[in-house]
Structure 1
Amino acid sequence: MSFISIFDVMGPNMIGPSSSHTAGAARIGFLAQKMINGPLKEVNFTLYGSFARTFKGHGTDRALLGGIMGFSTDDMRIRNSFEIAKEKGLTFSFTPNELETDIHPNTVDIHMVNNNGQEMTVRGESLGGGKVRIVKINSVQVDFSGEYSAIIVIHQDKPGVAAYITKCLSDRNVNIAFMRLFRESKGEIAYTIVESDGRLPEDIGNTIRKNQHIHEVMIVQM
């Protein structure tokens, strides 16, 4: 029998009305913006399933936009996220997709463009009770809960890269809770996601980037 805590039943501190459609949505947006460098200038949200059908009535749109601007699930500014985004010069749009049905019912694709022209697409699923899962980064299937501090390393799928990453972390006394590697195909782009029990050293990304096969390092502090 799986364990269910009182927090799973009651849900997180949040701006309502729904833990899955607002708190979870804000959480997905919050995680997504941690994965791209610098301020965003443009973001498009493609919504699936119940997200696509009820995003206006449940405030999913405001929650996603608030999360992408770094607001936590209980931040009162979520209610005014449209106005705040416009003040910041952030262009945003919402595209419901009710044609694709073989997908989790609370799913969103977030396509982000930062001020340097870097683009990234993150797919997230809201699982209920404020819990979420990141299941795709660009075209690569991943699995990332956002419940731990994490390092996400984009690199070529080459021998020794994973060992190099773990050595960098070991040298800084980082305790690894989970480590997973995802890739498009052998020898192509891969994503290594390392989740840690504690906060990560702020400069660990600079150390890991020194390997010639590593393209980018993203740190998500919890």
Structure 2
Amino acid sequence: MLNLSIFDVIGPIMIGPSSSHTAGAVKLARVAARIAGKPFKHVEFGLHGSFAKTGKGHGTHLALLAGVLGLTEEDERIKCSPGIAEARGITYKFYEVDLDDVHENTAVITFTHDDDTTTEIVGCSTGGGRILITRISGVEVEVTAERPTIIMQQIDRPGVIAGISRILAENNINIGVMRFSRVAKRDVATSVLETDEKIPPEVVEKLAALDDVLMVRVIQ
């Protein structure tokens, strides 16, 4: 039997016309900006597949730009995102890219920060306003942002994961899902933790203060 929720039938509250090309694009870009985490002065969007072919007619360009600016799916200012970017002194560029065998609604979002460093986020809009972040600065991940999520980068050493788990347990935060990715042994690793409870700012500070932890981002 196919089980459908009311969300699956009517989709999210959003500014249209498309839950994939508009609402999902806003959320994808907003989450990407949260992961990037630092002020940025320029952003580039590489559009793959359906995003590249039909996205402009569905407002995908405006939606992606609105998302990195922090607007939500139901915000009526989505169509005004170019003007908002200009007012904030943020420049942007769209281009088409072929990423081979990935979801047709995939975007590569590259932020140039105020300190001239860059962060590249790859993700897709999977339908019904849902998203999936698949790569952060070259590291494969799985981030849906459907539950409170902690994204961390740390040195791959014994005891680091135990320290993260200890802090969450001491603050009565239960880990629902934990994913760990690394490029090489003892190199920089990325952890994605989905929790049952929201993450208070003081817990974020404790996680960031751990030895060998390089970055902490929270999406909730």
Query: Normalised by the shorter chain, which TM-score bucket?
Result: over 0.9
- Normalising by structure 1, report the TM-score: 0.94
CA–CA distance in structure 1, aligned partners of residues 19 and 208 of structure 2: 37
The answer on whether the counterparts of 1:20 and 1:126 sit within 8 Å (CA) in structure 2 is: yes
SS at match of 1:77: helix
4+ long deviations beyond 3 Å = none
Is the deviation greater in 169-178 or in 140-149?
A: 169-178
Give the Å deviation of 1:117: 3.0
Pairing of 1:27-66 with structure 2 (within 5 A): 27-66=27-66
**What is the CA–CA distance in structure 1 between the aligned matches of 2:42 and 2:108, rounded to whole Å?**
14
* Cα RMSD (Å): 1.3
Partner SS for 2:185: coil
Of residues 114-123 and 66-75 in structure 1, the stretch that sits farther from structure 2 once superposed is 114-123
> Size of the alignment, in residue pairs?
220
Q: Does 1:178 align with 2:177?
A: yes
Letter in 2 for 1:109: V
Partner of 2:125: 126
TM-score by length of 2: 0.95
Residue number in structure 2 paired with 1:91: 91
Residues 32-90 of structure 1, C-alpha deviation per residue, up to 9 Å, x if partnerless? 11112332211101010000111211100100111111111010110110111111111
Asked if the contact 1:37/1:114 (under 8 Å) is kept, the reply is no
Matches of 2:215 and 2:93 in 1, distance apart? 27
Which whole-Å CA distance do the structure 2 matches of 1:212 and 1:100 have between them?
36
Q: Which runs of 5+ in 2 are unaligned?
A: none
Single out whichever of 138-147 and 193-202 deviates more from structure 2: 193-202
In the alignment, what sits opposite 1:4?
Answer: 4
Structure 1 residues 1-222: aligned runs within 5 Å: 1-97=1-97, 99-221=98-220
Distance in 2, matches of 1:149 and 1:177, equals 10
